[in-house]
Amino acid sequence: MGMTKNDRNDLTTFGLLRHGQTEWNKLKKIQGSSDSPLTSKGKEMIAEWSLSLKKYNWHRIFASDMGRVKETVSILNRELNVPVEYDKRLREQFWGDWEGLTLPYVKETFREELEQRVKQGWHFTAPGGETRLALKERTISAMSDAGRKWPGQNILTVCHQGVIKSVLYSIAERKFLPGDEKMLKANSFHLIGHRQDQFSIIELNIGRSK
């Protein structure tokens, strides 16, 4: 069943969806604040998502203002046809000196440094980049503002993997440390609620309808 404005007693419901696969994703390059276009596979996957997501009765889309997200939103809205608001606070984590490098290269070339940085949990940052904590704070601020602005609505939030992880790990009180049990599955979306400045997890790892 789809959601309506009164289903959850004015609980604002956010659906968290990552943008489609990009050319840099395909090459395993770290994008962060950089950008690249969607691949044909990425476009196809988002078109499939647009059909699956129609049942949720979205009132609007709230999204990162990066190019790969705008391209994703354009495809989604061919089916959903709802108002869109972009917010730069939903941008991906800034990876500083490592942006544009491939993840395998970073793991091989900076292995010891990467291991030490990852052990810092929420304080992880690439050289010259942004901490996960800073990412979480700006993202939660953006979504809290949206929850207060549109109480009781169903808001599809289209953004980035790092953004989604920061929100969900924060709600679940995860420490973001190596060895933590895996929480999220690839190619899925998630539902969270917001009421009186408090977030809650409704459902994780929802797949596309077949």
Question: Would you please indicate which residues are annotated as catalytic (active-site) residues?
Answer: 19, 92
Interhelix angle 67-80/40-53, nearest 10 degrees:
40
State both tokens at 132: 């996960």
Q: How far apart are CA 36 and CA 95, in angstroms?
A: 15
Within the chain, strands assigned E span 12-18, 60-63, 84-86, 154-159, 189-195, 198-206
Q: How far apart are CA 154 and CA 175, in angstroms?
A: 29
The phi-psi region of residue 179 (left if phi > 0; otherwise alpha if psi is between -120 and 50; otherwise beta) is: left
